[in-house]
Amino acid sequence: DSSLRERLRALRDQLHHHSYQYYVLDAPEIPDVEYDRLFRELQEIEAQHPEWLTPDSPSQRVGAEPLPSFNQVRHETPMLSLDNVFSEQELLDFDRRVKSRLDDAATLTYACEPKLDGIAVSLLYVDGILVRGATRGDGRVGEDITQNVRTIASIPLRLRGEDWPEELEVRGEIYMPRAGFERINALGRETDGKVFVNPRNAAAGSLRQLDSRITAKRPLEMSCYGIALQEGEALFETHSEGLQRLRDWGFLVSPELRVVDSIEGCLAYYEGLLARRDALAYDIDGIVFKVDSLALQAELGFVSRAPRWAIAHKFPAQEEITL
Ligand SMILES: Cc1c[n+]2nc(N)[nH]c2nc1OC(C)C
């Protein structure tokens, strides 16, 4: 049995690697049929030896028995929302307020990333293994959707690389790319007539499923935008470094992430992405600018529920296409 157990371990490692190559790097190394063969071999061994099943096994991707209800989760670090601005002048005001509050704004740089139009979630990893996924809820208490997030291929079941902390909480947006949205609506029209109004609703509906086997069939992805640091824990000095570490650990992080050294740079980034908005594979509803330095973020702190150090610069509402 030890050789069979060894084979199971090897299959798990291989499947994790190929899944990362395919879903996170979009660079598969083997054909799908080869992946499916390895996956079936793993399922056969786990069926013979259920006692060898582990929470990070790739077989978890297909979903589990439906839950009676969702448990609640309290976020140790509250999941904040963002203040919005809608014009260039308001963005310049944000920059002026930031500078007026900093002792020394000479080194001020901004991290820029698209604000994906999906569902904010928090993932908890202990010793490198995914142990919990939760919705934002009201920012303090959300719903436990661990079974559902396990089915999302771009969410690692175990971390890659090394030097990750033994407890890591990752925040990000679960969304449905437009192509996937069109596909499940076409399917819905042919079957139960259930269609979603937009990709955000489709993602929300897919995550609210008590039966994770349904979630497993929905084309969901997760793009990470932050790490919820425990008090005083400083693994890196800037937000953008943190996102690069998330990429090293196997997470999908927006390839549009940039760091600029002025609010003019932010405006150029905003105009640039607004011009490319319809060409992106997913819906975005604005740009998030963050003071990149974690030290400056700490100096700026938060007002009530939103950080002083971040702002969402929203796009004009997209005119609905009247069919
Ligand atoms: C609510 C939220 C949403 N987003 N979306 C991105 N891209 N970054 C980001 N940051 C957020 O909050 C942090 C500023 C804490």
Query: Of ligand 1's atoms, which has the minimum distance to the CA of residue 136?
Result: 1
Query: Of ligand 1's atoms, which has the minimum distance to the CA of residue 82?
Result: 1
Going by CA atoms, what residue is nearest to atom 5 of ligand 1? 115
Name beta bridge partners: 143.
72
ipTM over 0.85: yes
pLDDT number for residue 105:
92
Rounded distance from Cα 250 to ligand 1 centre (Å): 20
Mutation test residue for ligand 1: of 77, 81, 115, the one with most atoms within 8 Å of CB:
115
Going by CA atoms, what residue is nearest to atom 8 of ligand 1? 225
Render 63-81 in DSSP notation, one character per residue: --SPPSSPPEEE-SS----
- Bridge-based pairing of strands 310-314 and 84-85 is parallel
> pTM for the whole thing?
0.91
Query: Of ligand 1's atoms, which has the minimum distance to the CA of residue 80?
Result: 15
Distances (CA, A) of 46 to 37, 39, 51, 130: 14, 11, 8, 19
Residues with CB under 6 A from ligand 1: 80-82, 113, 115, 120, 173, 225-226, 288, 290, 307, 310
Rounded distance from Cα 82 to ligand 1 centre (Å): 7
Rounded distance from Cα 167 to ligand 1 centre (Å): 21
Widest distance between CA atoms in the chain: 68
Going by CA atoms, what residue is nearest to atom 1 of ligand 1? 81
- State the catalytic residue, choosing from 99, 115, 194, 314: 115
Q: What is the pLDDT along the chain (323 residues), one digit of tens a residue?
A: 889 999 999 999 999 999 999 999 999 999 999 999 999 999 999 999 999 999 899 998 988 889 999 999 999 999 988 999 999 999 999 999 999 999 999 999 999 999 999 999 999 999 999 999 999 999 999 999 999 999 999 999 999 998 999 999 999 999 999 999 999 999 999 998 889 999 999 999 999 999 999 999 999 999 999 999 776 567 899 999 999 999 999 999 999 999 999 999 999 999 999 999 999 999 999 999 999 999 999 999 987 778 889 999 999 988 766 55
pLDDT number for residue 323:
54
CB 70 within 8 A of CB 210: yes
Rounded distance from Cα 108 to ligand 1 centre (Å): 19
Does residue 115 have an active-site annotation? yes
Distances (CA, A) of 97 to 90, 91, 108, 308: 10, 10, 13, 9
Question: In this structure, what token pair is assigned to residue 137?
Answer: 């809820």
Going by CA atoms, what residue is nearest to atom 15 of ligand 1? 80
Question: In this structure, what token pair is assigned to residue 289?
Answer: 């600018």
pLDDT number for residue 297:
94
Going by CA atoms, what residue is nearest to atom 14 of ligand 1? 310
Mutation test residue for ligand 1: of 222, 284, 287, 288, the one with most atoms within 8 Å of CB:
288
Going by CA atoms, what residue is nearest to atom 9 of ligand 1? 225
H-type helices in 102-198, by residue range? 146-149, 178-190
Query: Of ligand 1's atoms, which has the minimum distance to the CA of residue 310?
Result: 14
Question: In this structure, what token pair is assigned to residue 208?
Answer: 């609210």
Q: Which residues contact 190 (CB under 8 A, 6 or more apart)?
A: none
Query: Of ligand 1's atoms, which has the minimum distance to the CA of residue 223?
Result: 7
Mutation test residue for ligand 1: of 112, 121, 225, the one with most atoms within 8 Å of CB:
225
